[in-house]
Structure 1
Amino acid sequence: MGKPTRFKQKKKHYVLPEPGTTPGFVYIDANSLTPKISLYSFNTDDFKVVELANLKNISEKTADKSTFYWVDIRGLNSAEMFTVFSDELKIHKLVLEDITRTYHRPKFEEYEGYNFAISRMLNIAEDGGLDNEQVSFIQTKNVLYTFQENYEDCLDAVRKRLKDGKGNIRISGTGYLMYALMDMIVDSYFSILSKWSEDLDAIEDKLLARPDRSVMYETQMLKRNLISLRRVIWPERDKMNDILRTESDLITDQTKMFIKDAYDHCIQLMDMLESMKEIASTNIDMYLSIISNRMNEIMKVLTIISSIFIPLTFIAGIYGMNFAKQDPVTGKIMPGNMPELYQEHGYEYTLFVMALIAVVQIIFFWRKGWFK
Structure 2
Amino acid sequence: MKLSVLKIPLPKIDISKINITQHRRRNNPGEVPGTFFINETALPSKIFVYSYKEDHLEELAANDMADAINFTKNHRGYTHWIDVKGLGSQSVLDFIQKEFDVNPLVMEDIVHTHQRPKNEEYDHFMFVVSRMLELDKGLQLKNEQLSFLLFKDTLISFQEDYDDVLDPVRNRLRKNVNGNIRVLGPSYMLYALMDTVIDHYFTIINRLGDELEIVEDHLYQKPRKQLMYRIQGVKKLMITMRRGSWPERDKLNELLKSTNPLINEEVKLFLRDAYDHSIQIIDLIESMRETATSLLDLYLSLMSNKMNEVMKTLTIISAIFIPLTFIAGIYGMNFAYQDPKTGEILKDNMPELYMHNGYMYVMILMLLIAIAQIWYFARKGWFRD
Note if 1:165 corresponds to 2:172. Answer: no
Change (3 A) 1:81 1:205: same
CA deviation string 1:61-89 (max 9, x = no partner) = 43455211101111112222222222221
The answer to whether the Cα contact below 8 Å between 2:23 and 2:113 also exists between their aligned partners in 1 is no
Change (3 A) 1:145 1:11: closer
Q: Which residue of 1 aligns with 2:93?
A: 82
Distance 2:127 2:25 in 1: 22
Unaligned ranges ≥5, structure 2: 1-7
Unaligned ranges ≥5, structure 1: none
> Which TM-score applies when normalising by structure 1?
0.96
Whichever residue aligns with residue 141 of structure 2, its letter is L
Note the 1:343-354 alignment, pairs <5 A. Answer: 343-354=355-366
Note the 1:268-287 alignment, pairs <5 A. Answer: 268-287=280-299
Note if 1:6 corresponds to 2:18. Answer: no
Distance 1:288 1:264 in 2: 36
> Which TM-score applies when normalising by structure 2?
0.93
Distance 2:25 2:300 in 1: 39
Note if 1:247 corresponds to 2:255. Answer: no
Q: Which residue of 2 aligns with 1:25?
A: 35
The answer to whether the Cα contact below 8 Å between 2:20 and 2:143 also exists between their aligned partners in 1 is no
Note if 1:198 corresponds to 2:210. Answer: yes
CA deviation string 1:161-202 (max 9, x = no partner) = 111125300000111110000000001111111111111111
Distance 1:301 1:365 in 2: 11
Whichever residue aligns with residue 104 of structure 2, its letter is K
Whichever residue aligns with residue 36 of structure 1, its letter is K
SS of 1:49 mapped into structure 2: strand
Aligned residues with identical type, % of pairs: 45
Whichever residue aligns with residue 33 of structure 1, its letter is L
Q: Which residue of 1 aligns with 2:127?
A: 116
Q: Which residue of 1 aligns with 2:220?
A: 208
Change (3 A) 1:152 1:207: same
Q: 270-279 or 61-70: which moved more?
A: 61-70
CA deviation string 1:193-226 (max 9, x = no partner) = 1111111111111111122110001111111111
SS of 2:174 mapped into structure 1: helix
Q: CA deviation at 1:28?
A: 1.3
Q: How many equivalent pairs are there?
A: 372
CA deviation string 1:112-165 (max 9, x = no partner) = 111110111111135421111111100011100001111111111101111112
Q: Which residue of 2 aligns with 1:95?
A: 106
Q: Which residue of 2 aligns with 1:232?
A: 244
The answer to whether the Cα contact below 8 Å between 1:37 and 1:52 also exists between their aligned partners in 2 is yes
Note the 1:1-372 alignment, pairs <5 A. Answer: 3-4=10-11, 5-7=13-15, 8=17, 9-56=19-66, 61-63=71-73, 66-166=77-177, 167-372=179-384
CA deviation string 1:270-323 (max 9, x = no partner) = 111111111111111111111111111111111111111111111111111111
SS of 2:163 mapped into structure 1: coil
Whichever residue aligns with residue 94 of structure 1, its letter is L
Distance 2:261 2:10 in 1: 51
The answer to whether the Cα contact below 8 Å between 1:65 and 1:142 also exists between their aligned partners in 2 is no
The answer to whether the Cα contact below 8 Å between 1:233 and 1:269 also exists between their aligned partners in 2 is yes
Change (3 A) 1:3 1:317: closer
The answer to whether the Cα contact below 8 Å between 2:21 and 2:143 also exists between their aligned partners in 1 is no
